Structure 1
Amino acid sequence: MKEGVARCQEWLPRKNRRCAAAALPHFPYCGNHKPSDVETRIACPVDPTHTILEKEAEAHARRCPRVLHMQKMKQMLYYCKGANAGSDDEVENGTTDCKSGELDDDVHGRTDTVEEGHVSSKIKRSLFNSITKEELIELIEKVEFAYNLHCSDKFQLTVEHPAACKKWFSADIDRRIPFQEKHVLQQASMLGNMESFGLLRSRDSSVEQVTPSNPDLEPVFVEFGAGRGYLAHMLADCYIAQKIVLVERRSYKFKADRTLRQNPDVVLERVRIDIEDLNLDGVDALQDRHYVAFSKHLCGHATDLTLRCCRPDLISQSSRRHLDGLAIATCCHHICQWKPYVNKEFFKQLGFSKKEFHVITWLTSGAVSGNKGHAVDARNLSASCLNPSVLESPTNFEGYAEEKGGDNVNGWLTSFVDRAEFGLKCKRLLDVGQGSS
């Protein structure tokens, strides 16, 4: 920096020094560190994930990248607002046919899926805190009954280490792609399970491959919630995949797309859209083709949106695509929502109300990694996680709860059940409902 030029006075703790940039004229800070009270910044009214200067709000609303993207997306054949959003009605509305000229132009303030009818974590917590002891013990017993009836024998935990992904285990990979052992092991196990079900064919030259005379007979692989596309990258590197479609609503840096596009054997298409608004019949790569849908990280109701997007009974009669298989690693059950949930009838037949459904989703948070060091083996869940003392005298649980757990609903729950085990059962109940839709 030239001698005599004032430096920014902002202190940078991580670098243990002041900012090296030049200060603004007649001001002690640079443009990056100028205090916000000089020019007020607000959340963008179109896309709150970034901030703008308050004085530029009106002009920015017209040129915001989110607006420009939505305007462009609405010209795409695969866009159909709310196509997979579901309904709060007792009876599902059925298929949604999208036609040109019938699209809603409103994009302002719509940054989350299933916004209408969305129940926040704060509301779910309030619902949980509002239930009485009697309602709590009744809910626990209903979940136990439903789990033993539908879930206890339907889950087989299989961790695969497929030979096709061997080079990834030894870190013999393209170092341009960030390598994290945990994610590689998870991705490989998921692909190995897909291979076990006949959805994938290894590129291993030692295995005899039968190449179809017609390339169109090879399935298209569609990854939902693809993020940067690392799962699809491993799939294309280890298995035969001629066409891959990545579906993701956000824009990312450091995507695997560049590496995938350099693969001469793979045709890649990235579709940037919210799954809620995706009509797969409009994706050219899937016309008259079989396809396999997969995803490693679909948070909460994104799983339901994907199932709705792929379900044969919820697509139009004119559809020209054929689903060969689907593989989803569910997660973040605590943000599942009633409106898009793909199998409401499953919970209704078990006697659960809409309120109880949301309480169940809230209770799944008891089974998360690192829950006070209490790990639960998903392969060895007990028939009942109710405290033995409650089982012996179910009619006298009020006094037991007050003695052991205090006078609030969290204390009652802790005294009645093993929260981690019960939370895992709630997760499995949600999974079975989705899987049997």
Structure 2
Amino acid sequence: MTTTHTPEPEPPAIKKQKLENTSEQCAFYLAKKKRTCRMQRKAGNMYCSEHMIQSKDSTPEVSSKGERVPCPKDPRHTVWSNDVERHLKRCKKVVQKEDLWFHQDFNVTLQDSKLEKTKVNEENSTEINKKDLLHSCIEELRKHNTYPPLELNVHEHPGLNNRLEQVQQKKHPIQQSSLIGNLKSNNLLGLGHRYIEFGCGKAELSRFVNLSILEDLKNNSDTNSIETPYGFGFIDRGVNRMKMDPKILLDVSEFSQMKVTPPTIVRTRIDIKDLHLDTFLEQFPTNDTGIVCISKHLCGAATDLTLKSLLNSQIFATKKFSGLLVAMCCRHVCSYEQLLPHSREFLAQRGFKDENTFAVLKKIASWAVCGRPEGMGDDDGKDHTSGLSYSQREELGQQARRLIDESRVYALKHSLPSTYEIKINWYVPKDITLENVTLSILPQ
């Protein structure tokens, strides 16, 4: 099912709930957050294991694991002394430099780009009053608000039906179903692909991509291609629990109708800025499978770093690239430095010429997703620094997000051959998620 140009429903008011203190909660006060730690403590202790050595009043607890000591790589957190060696193997503060595809800051710049080597035009905005700068940026944004509404491409895939029946909160499965349905509508779902999930976390999206592939095979009378190889590559800089990697293989083994060749799965813990994509892809068996890049949600600068990693690779030159579909997220934490050079050029042409003006653009972008305080009406909130009501700020926030997204489209169109189609779309209504825009790159 596909719907186009459908007005987006208004999102429900977001209620903020505070966690209540309990008798078993750590008593250590976090000055930066202006609250006590919410970790649980053992009976008889005043603090959780993380904070027991950070207070002068606490006595280090000694157990079978030893005592709490600062992590050798990052003393801002602690570890049991007997577990130091094991901890360092999974500590998220330890850079995994032993991986062959680790190249420090490789994607911080766009390789061989003339624009990257040219100093970006910067204006001294520090002398301008912050309020005046805000209003001047608002005027620039309104001046360049010439874009028509995006197309709303809502799809569904039966591979998510069981998931939708099992959970009460259906927003994530609905998003996953639409993303996977969009993959299928663009011929990107099936065996014969290597799915590279950027910012994968537990890789839940990839698991349901795999289940949807199996669902399609079950309903396909042609079983000649079930031995076609495929695989998944997982890229994330964090340490993730309850990973879906083994569940993907288990799902394949339980697919008793036919013997599907299990996918190759390669996971790496790395910041995208340090990823040499070509070397990472060498970990997969040599075959003719195409590369499909996916993500939900790819936060802030991670989207721009992902695009740089693709442009810094050889996948377009070797024609191994099949497509990209990512749900973008958090424009308010983008980095001016990590924008593609042509993105900066695009924004400069529209009045956002330096880090100061881009910082204001990001602030405005946050107005679209910050949520409405309970009881606030459309015309309330004019005591805001901007002097605008809530509905006016929300509208400007959407325009700021759109401008950042359009800068990415512009950059890709100037970096890739015309044989590729670059688009942004809504993939679910706004009442499902405020972060409802996808970026796609598709060979024509």
Tell me the number of residue pairs that the alignment of Structure 1 and Structure 2 aligns: 329
SS of residue matched to 1:296: strand
Matches within 5 A, 1:101-120: none
CA-CA distance at 1:136 after TM superposition: 3.4
**Structure with the larger RCO, 1 or 2 (CA within 8 Å, 6+ apart):** 2
Q: C-alpha distance in 1, partners of 2:390/2:247? A: 52
Partner letter of residue 102 of structure 2? Y
Q: Does 1:12 align with 2:8?
A: no
CA distance in structure 2 between the partners assigned to 1:270 and 1:260 by the alignment: 13
Distance 1:329 1:30, change over 3 A: closer
Secondary structure of the residue aligned to 2:116 is coil
Q: What is the one-letter code of the residue matched to 1:282?
A: T
Q: Which residue of 2 aligns with 1:380?
A: none
Shift of 1:159: 2.5
| Larger proportion of helix | 1
Q: Residue 220 of structure 1: SS of its match in structure 2? A: strand
For each residue in 1:43-92, what CA deviation from the matched residue of structure 2 results, as whole angstroms up to 9, or x when unmatched? 75734673359xx8xx9799844689957x323221111111138x9921
Question: Structure 1 stretches of 5 or more lacking a match?
Answer: 1-9, 95-125, 172-177, 202-214, 377-384, 388-403
2:106 aligned with 1:83: yes
Aligned partners of 2:173, 2:51: CA distance in 1, in Å?
A: 39
Distance in 2, matches of 1:86 and 1:179, equals 43
Q: 1:130 to 1:316 in 2, by over 3 A?
A: farther
Identify the residue that residue 248 of structure 1 maps to in structure 2: 236
Is the CA contact (8 Å cut-off) linking 1:136 and 1:413 kept in structure 2? no
Offset of residue 142 of structure 1: 1.5
Q: 1:68 to 1:139 in 2, by over 3 A?
A: closer
Task: Judge conservation of contact 2:73–2:94 (CA < 8 Å) in 1.
Answer: no
1:346-386 CA-to-partner distances (Å, cap 9, x unmatched) read: 1122232212111101111111163226999xxxxxxxx9x
SS at match of 1:194: helix
Change (3 A) 1:247 1:30: closer
CA distance in 2, matches of 1:142, 1:423: 13
**Displacement of 1:279:** 1.0
Q: CA deviation at 1:298?
A: 1.4
Give the letter for the 1:280 counterpart.
Answer: L
Match of 2:34 in 1: none
* Equivalent runs, 1:400-415 vs 2, <5 Å: 410-414=384-388
**Equivalences for 1:26-425 in 2 at 5 Å?**
36-37=55-56, 38=58, 44=71, 46-47=73-74, 50-51=77-78, 64-65=88-89, 73-86=96-109, 91-93=115-117, 130-133=129-132, 135-148=133-146, 151-153=147-149, 155-171=150-166, 180-201=169-190, 218-239=192-213, 242-262=230-250, 263-264=252-253, 265-283=262-280, 284=282, 285=284, 289-311=289-311, 314-315=312-313, 320=318, 322-342=320-340, 343-354=343-354, 355-368=356-369, 370-372=371-373, 410-414=384-388, 418-425=392-399
CA–CA separation in structure 2 for the residues paired with 1:414 and 1:142: 16
Q: 1:179 to 1:75 in 2, by over 3 A?
A: farther
Identity of aligned residues (%): 28
Q: In structure 1, give the amino acid aligned to 2:243.
A: K
Distance in 2, Cα, partners of 1:137 & 1:76: 48
Work out whether residues 278 and 309 of structure 1, in 8 Å CA contact, stay in contact via their aligned partners in 2.
Answer: yes
The letter for the 2-side match of 1:292 is V
Counterpart of 1:367, as a letter, is A
Q: Distance in 2 between matches of 1:339 and 1:348?
A: 14
Q: CA deviation at 1:321?
A: 6.2
Go from structure 1 to structure 2 and tell me whether the alpha carbon gap of 1:412 and 1:274 turns closer, same or farther (over 3 Å shift): closer
Q: What is the TM-score of this pair, normalised by structure 2?
A: 0.62
Change in Cα spacing, 1:286 to 1:39, as seen in structure 2 (3 Å) is farther
Match of 1:433 among 381, 402, 407: 407
**Cα separation, 2, equivalents of 1:335 and 1:169:** 31
Larger Rg: 1
Q: Distance in 1 between matches of 2:179 and 2:93?
A: 32
Give, as a single letter, the amino acid of the residue that structure 2 aligns with 1:421.
Answer: E
Q: C-alpha root-mean-square deviation of aligned residues, in Å?
A: 4.4
Q: Structure 1 residues 373 and 436 mapped into 2: Cα distance closer, same or farther (>3 Å)? A: farther
TM-score normalised to structure 1 length: 0.63
Query: Could you tell me which amino acid in structure 2 is paired with residue 277 of structure 1?
Result: D
8 A Cα contact 1:289 1:320, kept in partner: no
3-state SS of paired residue (2:145): helix
Distance 2:75 2:198 in 1: 23
Is contact 2:137-2:357 (8 Å) kept?
yes
CA distance in 2, matches of 1:163, 1:375: 39
C-alpha distance in structure 1 between counterparts of 2:402 and 2:241, whole Å: 34
C-alpha contact 1:366 1:419 (8 A) present in aligned 2: yes
- Deviation per residue, 1:286-310 (Å, 9 max, x gap): 8664201010021110111111111
Matched residue SS, 1:327: strand
1:32 positional shift: 8.5
Change (3 A) 1:197 1:85: same
Residues 182-202 of structure 1: per-residue CA shift (max 9 Å, x gap): 21111111111222222224x
- Pick closer, same or farther for the CA change 1:414–1:68 going to 2, 3 Å: closer
The Cα shift of 1:168 comes to: 2.7
Gaps of 5+ in 2: 1-21, 27-40, 61-67, 119-124, 215-228, 254-261, 412-444
Whether the 8 Å CA contact 1:221–1:293 is kept in 2: the answer is yes
Pair 1:83–1:366, CA change in 2 (3 A): same
- Do the aligned partners of 2:197 and 2:295 also contact (CA within 8 Å) in 1? yes
Q: Deviations over 1:252-271 (max 9, x none)?
A: 11111111122243221112
Alpha-carbon distance in 2 for matches of 1:224, 1:156: 24
Structure 2 Cα separation of the partners of residues 258 and 267 of structure 1: 11
- SS of match in other structure, 2:406: helix
Give distance in 1, aligned partners of 2:157 and 2:390. Answer: 42
